[in-house]
Amino acid sequence: MPAFRSFSLPLSPGAQTVPDMPAGFHPDGLLSGLNFCEGGADSPPVAPSGQSDNLHPEGLLLGGLNLGGAGADIDAWANGAHTPGFPDLSGAMRGTLNNSGPEDRARGIGEALEGTKLAAEGTHGLGALTVLGAGAGRAAPIIEGLEGVNRGFVIPLTIGKGIADTFSDVHGGAPLGEAIVGNGLRSGLVLGGAALGQAIIPVPIVGGAIGGYVADQYLPRGSMMGHGIIQGMIDYPPQPLDYL
Amino acid sequence: MVLARFSFPWALISLAGIFFVLYAFGKIYFSHATDIVFWILVPFLPFLILYGWDIFRALVFHGGRAVWIVDGILIFLPYGWPKSLNTFFYSIPLNALDRFSTGSMETGSFVTWLPGIRLHLKSGGYLQIPSYLLEEPRDVILARLNQALAENR
């Protein structure tokens, strides 16, 4: 028998037997043949996997039936009013349900800057490709002009995105130091990705644009990087993020 | 006559980078996380495939040759836009070349420190050879190119 040992049912003290229980339920704690009361009512809830930190704070949810918290649905089972529902995931989705704060506006500015940079690089590349396809040489003035214009875009817009992301993370609750360090490092890595892409993909403009785009897609959020760096330099163990 | 070969580490890094880029684009596409920038960059992916295929062929079948001469025609890996969709390599008659010089690659980006060799055309303009991708030092390649140009002039 697996270690299902903590599904304590909060029955009232005098309720040794509960009438009209659903099939398979036993007042000693056997539900469908599994003993959920092995650890006793005072044991902390433990999931079947043994991972107690995966549990919902309100109690353990099993198919919409709250078996572990105070005021569990046993009364609903008893009077037939229980209807199976979906687990409450609002805790896990909290960060995505409330997205109209200043951090999201700053994040939007950052994404707009990054999008402007990459769209400019891409359209410069397409422009150069069109000109070359029309028969112009590599050293045609329009190609040099496109490359010159593109050169001025990349660094300022990457730095601008880093600043906007820093504001976003600070508004979202990140410590200022972690946001600055993390987003500074992130901007540097995005530029590094662009430089590496420009080196290993020997196509003007396009190599850097692709390298920067892939780096930006795959790097974690700046405040998370800053959190790891700064907490890693402090003696006590890294603390979990509480603002995401 | 082979004048220069690919640097093996650089070639491997390039191939790995191309594979990663293709993997990343595929993952972005199949995870439905595409955006406008993704679709702007997608038309350039055939260049990557062409470039990677040419490097792979050169490494596996031709001993990693990157710059060579056949019948008075200089064939080389350029830093620039591919001239056709058949191969990334450029072919140009030696008698169409005026001279060679060294310089940084014009990447069209803020990356201005990559060393290379410029092939100045008699008709004006120049092409670029990314010498940092090659095994031989830039001066050695330049000397070989000048010698070949003098012999075919």
Secondary structure class of A175 (helix, strand, coil) = coil
Say if residue A194's pLDDT is above 60.
yes
Q: Both tokens of residue A128?
A: 């150069």
DSSP A29: S
Residue ranges of A 80-119 with Cβ closer than 8 A to chain B: 115, 118-119
Domain that holds residue B28: 2-151
Encode burial over A161-198: b for 16+ CB neighbours within 10 A, e otherwise. Answer: bbbbbbbbbbbbebbeebbbbbbbbbbebbbebbbbbb
pLDDT at A134: 56
Distance CA A104, CA A98 (A): 10
Contacts of A129 in chain B (CB under 8 A): 43-44, 81
**pLDDT under 70 in chain B at which residues?**
none
CA angle B9, A200, B113 (to 5 degrees): 100
At A160, the pLDDT band (50, 70, 90 cuts) reads confident
A76-117 tens-digit pLDDT: 556 655 555 444 444 444 444 445 666 667 667 777 776 666
* Cα gap B50→B47, rounded to integer Å: 5
Helix (H, G, I), strand (E, B) or coil at A140: coil
Matching residue, tokens 């991972």: A51
The radius of gyration computed from the CA coordinates of chain A, to the nearest angstrom, equals 29
Query: Among B40, B110, B126, whose Cβ lies nearest the Cβ of A122?
Result: B40
Taking CA atoms, what residue in A is nearest to B37? Answer: A119
Alpha-carbon span B60 to B12, nearest angstrom: 12
Question: pTM for the full model?
Answer: 0.61
Terminal C-alpha separation, chain A: 38
Q: How far is CA B102 from the centre of its chain?
A: 16
Q: B126 near B118, Cβ under 8 Å?
A: yes
Report the candidate in A162, A196, A192, A174 with the shortest Cα–Cα distance to residue A241. Answer: A174
Contacts of B53 (CB under 8 A, 6+ apart): none
Q: How many domains does chain B have?
A: 1
pLDDT of res. A147? 63
Cα separation, B53 vs B81, in Å, equals 16
d(CA A8, CA A74): 11
pLDDT of residue A148: 64
Q: Which amino acid is at A220?
A: P
Q: How do residues A14-44 score in pLDDT, each as one tens digit? A: 444 445 545 544 554 444 444 444 444 444 4
Round the CA-based radius of gyration of chain B to a whole number and report it. 17
Query: Using 50, 70 and 90 to split pLDDT, how confident is the model at A128?
Result: low
CA angle B102, B105, B111 (to 5 degrees): 140
Cα A53 to chain centroid, rounded = 18
Q: State the pLDDT confidence band at A142, using cuts at 50, 70 and 90.
A: low
| Cross-chain Cβ contact B78/A202 below 8 Å | yes
CB within 8 A of A176, min separation 6: which ones? Answer: A170
Given a cut of 70, whether residue A211 has pLDDT beyond it is yes
- Cα A172 vs. chain centroid, distance in angstroms? 14
- pLDDT, residue A133, reads 57
Sketch the domain layout of chain A as residue ranges: 1-88, 95-232
Interface test with A, best of B107, B119, B120, B126 (most A CBs within 10 A): B107
Chain A touched by B48 (CB under 8 Å): yes
**A56, A87 contact by CB (below 8 A):** yes
What residues contact residue A209 under an 8 Å CB cut-off, 6+ apart?
A118, A121, A122, A125, A194, A197, B41
What is the rounded CA–CA span in Å between residue B48 and residue A73? 60
Nearest-neighbour CA in chain A from B67: distance (Å): 15
Kindly state the greatest CA–CA separation across chain A: 93
* Phi/psi of residue A204, nearest 5 degrees: -55, 145
Query: What pLDDT was estimated at residue B84?
Result: 75
